[in-house]
Each structure stands twice: as C-alpha cells, then as structure tokens.
Amino acid sequence: MKLREVGEDRLLIRLLSSLGKNKNVVVAAGDDCAVVRPPRGSELLLLKTDCVVEKIHFTSATNPERVGWKAMMRPLSDFAAMSGLPQFALVTLIVPATRSTRWVSQLYRGLNRAARRFDVVIVGGETSDTRGPAAISVSVAGFVEKNRCVTRSRGKVSDDLFVTGKLGGSIRGKHLNFVPRINESRWLTQNFRVHAMMDLSDGLGADLPRLARASKVGYKIDIDALPLNRGCKIDNALNDGEDFELLFAVSPRDRKRLQKDWRRKFPRIPLTRIGSFNRKSKIENRDLFRGYVHFQQRR
Amino acid sequence: MKLREVGEDRLLIRLLSSLGKNKNVVVAAGDDCAVVRPPRGSELLLLKTDCVVEKIHFTSATNPERVGWKAMMRPLSDFAAMSGLPQFALVTLIVPATRSTRWVSQLYRGLNRAARRFDVVIVGGETSDTRGPAAISVSVAGFVEKNRCVTRSRGKVSDDLFVTGKLGGSIRGKHLNFVPRINESRWLTQNFRVHAMMDLSDGLGADLPRLARASKVGYKIDIDALPLNRGCKIDNALNDGEDFELLFAVSPRDRKRLQKDWRRKFPRIPLTRIGSFNRKSKIENRDLFRGYVHFQQRR
C-alpha cells in the first residue's frame, strides 16, 4: 500500500502506537507538543538535530530499517560527544506519497530499535509529502550533569589526544549500523577530567582542526599511529568521515591510568593516543587533511 | 554565490553568528549539542518539530524570508496550542548545493525574525545537500507551568467551543506571515480554565474531530457562526487549513466573562463561539468536513 492511500493521521497512529513510554513522558505523540519532565536542577538540557537525506546519506536501495537506525544514531552520537544522556526524540519524516507504507514501517522499526538501545523515547513525529528524495530529521533532547558536560573548547596545550575504535571505510557498512559511544563517554567523564571532546562525523582531517580551533590551540598528530579499519589507508582515516568515534583531550598526567582502566573496562574497543595539542599546529602531510565538507564534496 | 562554493562550516558560522543568545543558553551553535538551562521544577518541558517542504508548503518563487518565517512559526503555533512558552529552536536545512547563499541568508533572516518575535533563540543548525526540493525542519523546546498545560484530551460534554480570528483562505498570504496565538493562549490560561485546546493547521473540518476524539466527546457546531476571512465560504473555513488560529473548549459558565474580558484585552481579534461539545457528534453537512489530510490531498 502507498502512503497516499493511508493518510497522515492513520499512518502516525500506526507508527507511534508501537513506541515505548516511560515515567518522564507526560504527553507523548498525538497532541500538539510532546510534554516531558525536565532534567533536575543540577543538570543541563542538551538539544540536537540532525538529518539523513536519500541519495546523499543513503541510497534508494538501502534497507530502510538501517536508514532509520542511522537517522537516530547520528544525533545520539552528538550526545556521546558532550557526555550527555539522550532521553526524548522527535522525528520529521519527509517522504513521497508514492512510497510504500512498508518502507516507512521498516524505517520506523530502525528508528525505534536505535532509540531503545539507549532508553530514548520517540515522543513526537511529523510527516510531510515531497516531490523529491526522502529525508528524515531527528531531534533529540536529553541532559548532562553540569560538572560532566564536555564541550569542544576547553582543550589545553600539551593535552593528549585520543580516539576510540578504528577509522576509515565507514561507507562499506559501519555508517548504517554503528553504535554511538555513549556508554564509553559516560564512563570517561565519571572517571577522568575530559577537557574537550567531539564525535568524528566528517573525518579526523576535518574534525580535529575544528576541535583545536574551538580550544584555541594547535595540534600535532602521529599519522602512523592512526587506528585503521581493515583495508583502510591513512587517507581513509582522515577523510572518509562517518566514523562516529570519539576524539578527546585529557591531561598527559592521566594517560597511564586511562589506558589501563580503558583496557579493563572496554577490552574490545581500541583506544589510541594519536597526538597532542600544542601551541601551534604542525601537521605532516597537510594535503591529506580534507575531511568531508558538505556542499563541497560529493559522496 | 552558490552554497557548494562556500562549505558547511563557513555557511553555518555566517548564518549562526547573527543569532541572539540569552542567559539560558550555555553553549549555542558550534558545539556538538546545544546546552541550555532546563525549566524549573514546577514546569514541564515541551518539545515540537515541524517542517516545510518546497513545492508542498511553499513554491520555488516564494520569498525565502517568508518561508523562514513560516518554518519557525508553525511549531511555535503548537506551543500556543498547549499554552506553552517556546525558548530554543534547532534548524535543519536541507537544500541543494546549487541554491544561492543569498536565498539561504534570507531564509535565515525570516527564521530569526520569527524567533525573536517570541524571544526564542536559535541554538543549533544542521545543513545537508539534497538532489531534490529544499526542506526546512524546525524543532523547538520550551516549557509550560504544570497547572497551565492544556492538552487536547480534557474537553467535557457541554463545553463551549471557541475559535480565535477568522478562518479560510490562508493560501492567499496568511500562511506565510501569520503570528501564532501565543500571547492570547497565555492570557487564556492565566485567566480561565481551558479544558482542551489545539491550533488549527489542517482546517476546522479535520482538526475539530481530532479534538473531540482526544476528549472522547462529540460536538455540534453552528456552521453559520463560523468567522470567515474576506472572500471565504464555509467550505474554506472548514477545509483550507493553515489558519493557525486557536480552537478551545471552556465551561459555558465562563462564557460571558470570557467574551467580555477578551474584547477588552484583544479588541482587534475576533473570538467566536462556534458550538459545543456533546455526547454524540452531530454535524450539519458532513460532506463539508474534509480538512487537509497529508498524502491524500494535494495543494
């Protein structure tokens, strides 16, 4: 059946009735706004929106459940970057009326499966027809304790720079089924003073300069130390993008303890020291640093 | 200049640098998430997302500043519907790389002008390229005092039904420059017990049945009492949609005082009693009741 034969009310009722609720949700989908309990006094509210667009972030042949997974996990990865806990998601679905309801149901299954993985509740949804490619925009609200909020801007000269996991080659599959590093990030701020952190979405080559710029420092990285996914070269690690790993800065005084405790806590996830912040940037092979810049490069 | 010649970083910096901030914004656009102060303990958090899509909600020739205005005001109208105060907005811009930066700047001017009108701060933005029509998704967070939150579901049998303003013909211009009834809605809940409320986005003919269904009551409306915009007929008032007026239910005991106080407070905005809730729906001219149902009707 096509969307145009169903109508928005019935479609949304069908899609949203399968979603979970919890004690923090006062009024879920179906009213004009979602009504939820705010974080407590010692916590800050985090807000993030992101989108995936057909023919840009996924193809028309991509399994819609994986598209939904990706659409939800992208903004959740930004919560990992701040060491926040995501709680509530709103989904805007822009999709041609000629698309099958099956496609939309599978997409929602992926959105919901990804949300549940981190106890996030989808509390609202909008749909719109379009004459063009499908697009899914997901906004997420959540919180972070005031003393655990990690921005990009507090990195210090001589901080060690670490990345989680391995880099490069995400387009071969990881970009559709990655798990944001929320648990790892929460563990980090519970046990260490993380000065600056971000998630790698556009490639280390584009993202590291952003982190350094926000912290008003330079950086030096050891290109040969970069943790590479199988079949990847340094260029892939720097420029492929969509790694959704964490890049963060901690004092070199914490290096030993961090490396030891991390191995014990997350034995299957590599943690690699790739360089450090300094006063002035020095990059070997500057031309490798392109990253993925929207509107300038095509994938 | 085209978007593809600029790049996302520089575009966002340019667009977002012109936006306001206030004491509730801890970290605005530029980091992974926006960080804001949550509402206080006696307040609930409201979340809403909505979108406008080129060729559906606006044409390629529509003044982009008006498109931005509409994109922001649509979700703000849902805050009016709950008697909430919007505070923070996130903007997702899906736009072809071939679009001019001027178009995007004007769009943002409209978004920002609309936000400022209600002291809303745009705290984050994402952009994505697309091979199709442009789309703008806006999510808004805000709050409402627990005892002033008005849902759709607490209407009672024999409640009076009121609408603000006039209905119909929005497509001739109002849909691009309307002002959500936030002030009116806040005044209502400060002075009256509003049982159920919503904003009219799909036409009274589609929206009133939703309000009644949510309240588990029927309704009777006096078709001839409907307040019509100039040049409009009853059919327009019921089915055109995008009126963005308030529809609400109050006890008939409050009728006299409401009408008198409203006239004094908002002398230029009509308030019309259009009918009442009852046990079982009775509609004259049922076939007039179509409303605008997404995916089923084209505009």
pLDDT tens over chain B, length 299 residues: 777 777 666 676 667 666 667 778 888 777 889 888 888 878 999 999 999 999 999 999 999 999 999 999 999 999 999 999 999 999 999 999 999 999 999 999 999 999 999 999 999 888 999 999 999 999 999 999 999 999 999 999 999 999 999 999 999 999 999 999 999 999 999 999 999 999 999 999 999 999 999 999 999 999 999 999 999 999 999 999 999 999 999 999 999 999 999 999 999 999 999 999 999 755 544 444 555 444 444 33
Are B95 and B205 within one domain? no
According to the 3-state scheme, what is the secondary structure of chain A?
Answer: CEHHHCCHHHHHHHHHHCCCCCCCEEECECECCEEECCCCCCEEEEEEEEEEEECCCECCCCCHHHHHHHHHHHHHHHHHHHCCEEEEEEEEEECCCCCEHHHHHHHHHHHHHHHHHCCCEEEEEEEECCCCCCEEEEEEEEEEEHHHCCCCCCCCCCCEEEEECCECCHHHCHHHHCCCCHHHHHHHHHHCCEEEEEECCCCHHHHHHHHHHHHCCEEEECHHHCCECCCCCHHHHHHCCCCCCEEEEECHHHHHHHHHHHHHHCCCCCEEEEEEEECCCECCCHHHCCCCCCCCCCC
Residue A95's closest CA among B56, B99, B48? Answer: B56
Interface mutation target, options B6, B57, B139, B215, chain A, most CBs of A under 10 Å: B139
Q: Answer whether A55's CB lies under 8 Å from B128's CB.
A: no
pLDDT recorded at residue B269: 98
Q: Answer whether B51's CB lies under 8 Å from B134's CB.
A: no
B257 backbone dihedrals φ, ψ, rounded to 5°: -65, -40
Q: What is the number of alpha carbons within 13 Å of residue A61 lying toward its C-beta?
A: 0
Take residue B275 and report the two structure tokens written for it: 């009918």
pLDDT higher than threshold 80 for residue A6: no
Are A236 and A141 within one domain? no
Residue A214: which domain range?
160-288
Would you say residue A101 lies in a domain?
A: yes
pLDDT recorded at residue B272: 98
Are B115 and B189 within one domain? no
Would you say residue A295 lies in a domain?
A: no
Q: How many CB atoms lie within 10 A of CB A290?
A: 17
Residue that the structure tokens 């979603």 belong to: A19
pLDDT recorded at residue A38: 86
* A13 interfaces chain B, CB cutoff of 8 Å: no
Would you say residue A299 lies in a domain?
A: no
Residue that the structure tokens 């080659």 belong to: A169
A127 interaction partners in chain B (CB closer than 8 Å): 294-295
Cβ–Cβ gap B130/A135 under 8 Å: yes
Residue ending a domain, among B120, B148, B176, is: B148
Residue that the structure tokens 């080129």 belong to: B54
pLDDT tier at A1, thresholds 50, 70, 90: confident
Residue ending a domain, among A88, A117, A146, is: A146
* pTM of the model as a whole: 0.91
* A123 interfaces chain B, CB cutoff of 8 Å: yes
Size of interface A-B (CB pairs under 8 A): 257
Domain harbouring B66, CATH code:
3.30.1330.10
Residue ending a domain, among A114, A146, A178, is: A146
pLDDT recorded at residue B41: 78
* B13 interfaces chain A, CB cutoff of 8 Å: no
What's the complex ipTM?
0.89
Residue B86's DSSP bridge partners are B142
Residue length, chain A?
299
Would you say residue A294 lies in a domain?
A: no
pLDDT recorded at residue A287: 46
Would you say residue B154 lies in a domain?
A: no
Are B181 and B126 within one domain? no
* B36 interfaces chain A, CB cutoff of 8 Å: yes
A124 interaction partners in chain B (CB closer than 8 Å): 47-49
Would you say residue A238 lies in a domain?
A: yes
- Total domains in chain A come to 2
pLDDT recorded at residue A243: 97
Cβ–Cβ gap B295/A4 under 8 Å: yes
Higher pLDDT, residue B6 or A51? A51
pLDDT recorded at residue B46: 95
Would you say residue A125 lies in a domain?
A: yes
Tens-place pLDDT, residues A136-165: 999 999 999 999 999 999 999 999 999 999
Are A173 and A100 within one domain? no
Would you say residue B293 lies in a domain?
A: no
Take residue A45 and report the two structure tokens written for it: 């509210």
Q: Which residue of B has its CA nearest to A78?
A: B32
Q: Answer whether B155's CB lies under 8 Å from B277's CB.
A: yes
Tens-place pLDDT, residues A162-178: 999 999 999 999 999 99
Distance CA A186, CA B33 (A): 15
A82, A149, A295: residue with CB nearest B129 = A295
Are A241 and A106 within one domain? no
